[in-house]
Amino acid sequence: MGFSLVEVVLALGIMTFGLVPLMALLPIGLRVHRQAIEATVSSQIIARVTHEAQQTDYTNLPNGSNYPLTFCFDDQGNVLSSGTSTVLFTTCKDSKRIYDVRATVNKAASLPTATNTSQSPSLARIQIDIASNPGAKPDVFTSGGSVPFLTYFSFVSKND
């Protein structure tokens, strides 16, 4: 009524051929899961920064690359601190800091027209740069920065 050694070895061999390929898929699944989480958090951060700019009075939006809006976010997309200085990333020493965000406002964005010659004084283009920076490295947005970042664009208009 028991199993012989040959039967046990054959059963283990069959299970091995089935389980080894499944174990090889585990790192791929974990990587795709991490990428999906980062994409979700990044979209939440973009929505938050865009909403923040939309809620700010248009005349109070800082204009130009000399005055970027800077933010630090945790792994859940919650803002840790914000400001209008590039020094923020070195002063944001929170251990939960995962994402660095820089938003640059350009108030001279042009409206899409047939001739594309008119400038609208009530439309601003916001460039949002997001760096996943779990090591909290400084100067992530410089040309020599070692952290890759994604760039998104959004538009904000003045409601007259």
Q: What is the pLDDT of residue 118?
A: 55
Q: What is the pTM of this model?
A: 0.72
Q: What is the tally of structural domains in the chain?
A: 1
Please give the radius of gyration of the chain, using alpha carbons only, rounded to the nearest integer: 25
111: closest CA among 56, 155, 159? 155
When pLDDT is averaged across residues 78-91 and rounded to a whole number, the result is 66
Q: What is the pLDDT of residue 86?
A: 52
| Lowest-confidence segment of 42-46, 87-91, 139-143 by average pLDDT | 87-91
Count other C-beta atoms under 10 Å from residue 133's C-beta: 23
Q: What is d(CA 69, CA 85) in angstroms, rounded to the nearest whole number?
A: 7
Provide the domain limits for residue 29: 5-157
Max Cα distance, the chain (Å): 90
Whether residue 90 has pLDDT greater than 70: no
Token match 């700010």: residue? 56
Q: Tell me: the pLDDT tens digits for 4-27?
A: 999 999 999 999 988 888 888 999
Q: What is d(CA 42, CA 100) in angstroms, rounded to the nearest whole number?
A: 11
